[in-house]
Structure 1
């Protein structure tokens, strides 16, 4: 449907023509299980009377359209998801009465029936362009307006929106209407409606600018898992920090956080009505990294109340104005205002790595991307926008200084409150505050793609000191920009106790291809030289031969978690770039992960270790390395301190690695209670992890069905679907493919569970047919599944574990001849890049 793909030029034309005064939206959620009533009244002005424009409405059955009192025939006026509006006057009123469809894809108005108790829950998700699935809109961020929602629903439901929830008024027996006060001026995509049989608790934050009512909502079946005290504490810490840091009062009347089912993303910053995936209310024990990430999500969405909701980008080119800033702000706040004081270490170990990976794909793009239409936005909503963007802002803070950076932000909020901006507006605010010219910096960092690599280059004197030390900067030839970097250079050497301690630190600017570091001339060569110490910039770093040997032997001897994270990242980059044998990286992980203290390091690094084992080792080495990995994880699991995150993570990792009869018997023994590890709670989520591992090995028997009887919740159903998809059985794979890839009616999170579990290492024979099946699916997925579901499918289900020259050739041939949509081609190119990277790493590991 071309009409859904709004272009930047169309949006600019419409914005120049219209000013939207007010929306009044009447939603009737009592009309049935598949559709709801939607009547929209839009008051707007037009600068050119007599002109023509269009309104947006997707997938609706339209009953009536009137423009300025004149009836329009829906059969002719409504086509291709647009309502044509002709003969506009200076002041206009559009009324559209329609029935819209509930979704099960997490887009528009999602409706969910909880299998635990058959209660009904609805919530909206409008970013990027999906408010138009619920009411008639002018769907673009720079046509802000006031919104009045009136919702008819069962009288015992909770109904929540942007404005404070009013007292419901009876309509008829068992039915009531909630009439919300008009909102401040907002973009369509940050409005919201959440309605259903939600459990609610309320609190209040008392801050420097007054009181903020707080609400917390979840499904009735999750009430026992709503850790209200911790969430309230984080929320209050966030408000205290942001209101002080931004010097601008929270701009909306109240702040509700609603934990909703089958949510596509982590959370959504609807103004004063934040929705979050209800997996953030865990029913089983989780490691500290889970709670650290949840904290960052809560603070990220809160930061959006200023970045994005109060001040909004004019068009999606400047999506980074929302996401990159909220991402940087949440980690800054987490480190400064919460118990997660080492959050930047966790960022380096986990989130930042996703930015590096995405930025090295053939699909990389600038942070400030050229989003010429909505299709471009959908595929550029990625970790370059989030993780790289936050990393680059951290570099900007190092460049201009935190005080000047914050001063620029404060003025920016005051100057553009409730308005729309372009990135040049923010840049001007920061330049005025800092006195530094930033246009060149922005061109280097925001308008170019790719990641630089920083490598040490040195000569040694006869006494073993540095005669000279320099930093060489390089870039991929396809993205050749060399940038200005503010970095730290750390020298680490063994002390008498065998610990690696920092003996010298220099902070300096790197520019161009080669930068000399004269401050370190004459410094004794350390055991470990670490570029980008303190993680100020966004760049890959390389370790010299001596430093790499030190890292492999003694990484855990570094007391500070941040330099350890940088070494973990450097060695992983070198492995992925075929500069370090994967077998050596596996040895590094097994030798040092048991002593790691950073929560994200403990949780994430075994995942990269498994990837090195299963994808980057040479085929001739792989059986031996798999045995080494399996046995090493067993030792780590059994030696870990009881009840710790390390114990839980290593048990999960060992279960994933289990292939030998002995290992699988151990996994089954833990599941059945025959193998007991002191301090390990074999709770529901861990049980599903163990069952899925047995399923992947073909040893599951009736356990999936038995466990689903024990756990019939939606989480249980999703875990069961993942376990079935993991089986090394042709029929099981075929059914998983049908449900996860071909059947558009499969609920979104169930589909995600299937496709992420489908491509298992060690199942080469049964996965072999799915290279061609993947390419066939790519031809049609965008049309049959919709953009979000298609992105999940094509991003996760490709069997990269089959990496070979033949697979690479098949992908290349498809790309040379396909007419599939550009977003689908992007995912196939990324799959090809993964295959080529794996082949290069395997060649390196082969020696």
Structure 2
């Protein structure tokens, strides 16, 4: 119906209660009537082609009538809208460290209509002229380069065609690091990194690395993509309260400011942040210039960005061995999602995604982690040259346009001699994952596929001392593959992590590899084995006790921080709440603490390994004197600082043990007046093992308009595995009251789902959850609850 859409958006952010949104929309129309989307406006005025018009507005849509079907229409909407505190819309935040106010538009999905009247549809791309009035002392950032500034009024350059959901504005007392760079191609571009004023020291600490990572990733994309960078500048800003890890807004990427941690930053944090920088930069081409047509193709941009993030952060920015992090920290998310009843194809059919709330539920481990693993397998199967030729053809064909799965397949098929369409049907249109099985026939290992997908991967063979004997590439389809030259040897399929599949090793191989796990030289093989153990616990082929024995036996000797952190995260957040009965939770936590203590001793002053172990020991140990000693000395061992996040882990643990009262927590809060300190104190108060503390936390979680970070902090303190008996009435209250809390919007509904009780549930509690799911539960929360039920069943 609509064509040639363009916007002039003028925002006034100077009022602290509401903001003014003034929009002029120009477009061609094939019909005399349509509507603009505008959510929750408190006042609206409208003119159509220069004529003031009575407004028909229902809180969601502004009706447009009397449109010209032969000439360009100009519609003007002036609206007053509320700020939000849940990360959906024009989010406002007061920094407790210095009282500074920050305002930023967090859009995506269908939230653009919370900021300005628009045709909020991916394939109605438009140019945007954005101007902002803010406090004259503030800095304002937006998609386009700054054209002019006079006092508090900022005017930005016209964008290329982008969807309304990718508009960004961020205003506040930003501390900024800016520079210009000239690349080998001769192109010059202005860059900037920005953060809250209270994080100035942290931004300055990391500025050189952030600049190097940005430039190196940018240069690498210039080498592998034929299309030039599509926008006029590149800002990156650490913002407060963002619900996503980051958002790929064209020319101005937003990151949650937890990615700029106070104190020291660990090597694992640096590497993951580097991956996220590369991920968001890939979106400038794959997502922002070429955009999915509708939400069933979420995977088309997110899977690709996930894949490119790891690839480019390593090949371009020099972060090494990132496949270890993929295997230990990323793929398990995909496997969990794909094993549930809510699983879906990487590329669902349009009928599977009927509305935007459903679309919100597929920004999940399948669209990201599994989809990225599928693309890695595709590149390995096709060969990288053919894969990248297809990608470049696709980006050129759909520059500043929209595309679907069929378009992507056509681009790949045009550059490859292999059956890309058959591969896509097997891998992207079907849910679930295969299992690669190792059998023995007269001592000869034989690989068998349980499933229906073609696989290409590396097999490694070891002798009885787990010395590597050989490796080879194998393609596994319908027919078994015998490996007679590896007769009698220990074999490990998918040793390079090339495919997405569960493993079922023969008894000889599993026994040898699990017994000698910590002695294997290749960290990638160790990571693949740990993930295989996770999956066996989920399928109940390996007990939680046996898994904890692996943790106690092998993890303290681990030399890679990302493996330590990944295994401990899985153990604490998945295996103990889901596979350990409530009456045994304390014992399981104590075993984790024992492993952490042994690991910390084994680290012997290695800063990175110490900082990998310390958060878990802080969160699990039952020795108040140890924790109070850390807090008093503000360090762990000799010359290794106690990071702020670990400090609050220790305070929360003391509180959960009944060894930190409100006065002690308040004193710790007075020593840390940052946002992190405020949230840490809330979490610690909620962790105390008393009915009064739990009542106070639960009441606060139900407060009208509680912000997203505060809600999450209270939930983190609320659910302590060893307190399952005390928490029974609050589990019931959560199941009873959460559906009403989840009606605030998509982002807050997801936050409510993440607040699911992280304690063991008995049969009666699971029955209560099933009964609730039989009633009226909002779409996003329903998906979360069904997943939690599946995990426990």
1:202-255 Cα distance to aligned partner (Å, 9 max, x none): 112211151111011111111110011000000001001001111221111110
Instruction: Measure the CA separation in 1 of the matches of 2:584 and 2:16.
Output: 56
| 1:453 partner SS | strand
CA separation of 1:691 and 1:45: change in aligned 2, threshold 3 A: same
1:457-514 Cα distance to aligned partner (Å, 9 max, x none): 2222xxxx41x6131314xxxxxxx22221222212245xxxx2321323222224xx
After TM superposition, the structure 1 = structure 2 runs for residues 19-418 of structure 1, keeping only pairs within 5 Å, are 19-30=3-14, 32-48=15-31, 50=32, 52-74=33-55, 77-90=56-69, 91-170=72-151, 176-207=152-183, 208-226=185-203, 227-369=206-348, 370-418=352-400
Instruction: Measure the CA separation in 1 of the matches of 2:139 and 2:758.
Output: 45
Structure 1 match to 2:768: 810
Structure 2 match to 1:436: 418
Structure 1 match to 2:507: 545
Instruction: Measure the CA separation in 1 of the matches of 2:746 and 2:700.
Output: 17
In structure 2, stretches of 5+ residues that fail to align are none
Instruction: Measure the CA separation in 2 of the matches of 1:598 and 1:245.
Output: 30
Contact 2:85–2:707 (CA<8 Å) still a contact in 1?
Answer: yes
Q: 1:820 aligns with which of 753, 777, 792?
A: 777
CA separation of 1:546 and 1:130: change in aligned 2, threshold 3 A: same
After TM superposition, the structure 1 = structure 2 runs for residues 649-664 of structure 1, keeping only pairs within 5 Å, are 649-659=612-622, 663-664=623-624
Structure 2 match to 1:840: none
Instruction: Measure the CA separation in 2 of the matches of 1:229 and 1:627.
Output: 41
Contact 1:367–1:389 (CA<8 Å) still a contact in 2?
Answer: yes
Instruction: Measure the CA separation in 2 of the matches of 1:775 and 1:827.
Output: 12
| 1:357 partner SS | helix
Contact 1:335–1:344 (CA<8 Å) still a contact in 2?
Answer: no
- Mean Cα deviation higher: 54-63 or 798-807: 798-807
Instruction: Measure the CA separation in 2 of the matches of 1:708 and 1:536.
Output: 46
Q: 1:698 aligns with which of 644, 658, 661?
A: 658
Structure 2 match to 1:510: 476
TM score, norm. by length of structure 2: 0.95
Contact 2:6–2:126 (CA<8 Å) still a contact in 1?
Answer: yes
Contact 1:38–1:99 (CA<8 Å) still a contact in 2?
Answer: yes
| 2:181 partner SS | strand
- Mean Cα deviation higher: 292-301 or 79-88: 79-88
After TM superposition, the structure 1 = structure 2 runs for residues 425-824 of structure 1, keeping only pairs within 5 Å, are 425-460=407-442, 465-466=443-444, 469-474=446-451, 482-495=452-465, 500-512=466-478, 515-518=479-482, 520-526=483-489, 528-610=490-572, 611-613=574-576, 615-617=578-580, 625-659=588-622, 663-673=623-633, 677-701=637-661, 702-740=663-701, 742-783=702-743, 785-795=744-754, 797-816=755-774, 818-824=775-781
1:663-706 Cα distance to aligned partner (Å, 9 max, x none): 23322222223996223312433221110111111111232100
Instruction: Measure the CA separation in 1 of the matches of 2:554 and 2:531.
Output: 14
Deviation at 1:417, TM superposition (A): 0.6
CA separation of 1:142 and 1:602: change in aligned 2, threshold 3 A: same
Structure 2 match to 1:834: 791
| 2:269 partner SS | helix
Contact 2:665–2:684 (CA<8 Å) still a contact in 1?
Answer: yes
Instruction: Measure the CA separation in 2 of the matches of 1:586 and 1:121.
Output: 45
Contact 1:492–1:503 (CA<8 Å) still a contact in 2?
Answer: yes
- Mean Cα deviation higher: 393-402 or 430-439: 430-439
Instruction: Measure the CA separation in 2 of the matches of 1:25 and 1:647.
Output: 50
Contact 1:582–1:612 (CA<8 Å) still a contact in 2?
Answer: yes
Contact 2:373–2:500 (CA<8 Å) still a contact in 1?
Answer: yes
Instruction: Measure the CA separation in 1 of the matches of 2:635 and 2:268.
Output: 26
CA separation of 1:676 and 1:328: change in aligned 2, threshold 3 A: closer
In structure 1, stretches of 5+ residues that fail to align are 1-16, 171-175, 475-481, 837-847
CA separation of 1:523 and 1:548: change in aligned 2, threshold 3 A: closer
Contact 2:461–2:486 (CA<8 Å) still a contact in 1?
Answer: no
CA separation of 1:41 and 1:737: change in aligned 2, threshold 3 A: same
Instruction: Measure the CA separation in 1 of the matches of 2:436 and 2:741.
Output: 40
Number of aligned residue pairs: give it: 783
Instruction: Measure the CA separation in 2 of the matches of 1:676 and 1:361.
Output: 40
CA separation of 1:289 and 1:415: change in aligned 2, threshold 3 A: same
CA separation of 1:522 and 1:437: change in aligned 2, threshold 3 A: closer
Structure 2 match to 1:479: none
Contact 1:284–1:685 (CA<8 Å) still a contact in 2?
Answer: no
TM score, norm. by length of structure 1: 0.89
Structure 2 match to 1:842: none
| 2:720 partner SS | coil
Deviation at 1:289, TM superposition (A): 1.3
Deviation at 1:743, TM superposition (A): 2.1
Contact 1:759–1:801 (CA<8 Å) still a contact in 2?
Answer: yes
Deviation at 1:623, TM superposition (A): 5.7
Deviation at 1:129, TM superposition (A): 1.1
Instruction: Measure the CA separation in 1 of the matches of 2:585 and 2:704.
Output: 38
Instruction: Measure the CA separation in 2 of the matches of 1:773 and 1:199.
Output: 43
1:706-741 Cα distance to aligned partner (Å, 9 max, x none): 01111111111111111122222212112222223x
| 1:802 partner SS | coil
CA separation of 1:68 and 1:658: change in aligned 2, threshold 3 A: same
Contact 1:25–1:38 (CA<8 Å) still a contact in 2?
Answer: yes
Instruction: Measure the CA separation in 1 of the matches of 2:21 and 2:779.
Output: 33
Instruction: Measure the CA separation in 1 of the matches of 2:747 and 2:583.
Output: 39
Contact 1:800–1:835 (CA<8 Å) still a contact in 2?
Answer: no
Contact 2:590–2:621 (CA<8 Å) still a contact in 1?
Answer: no
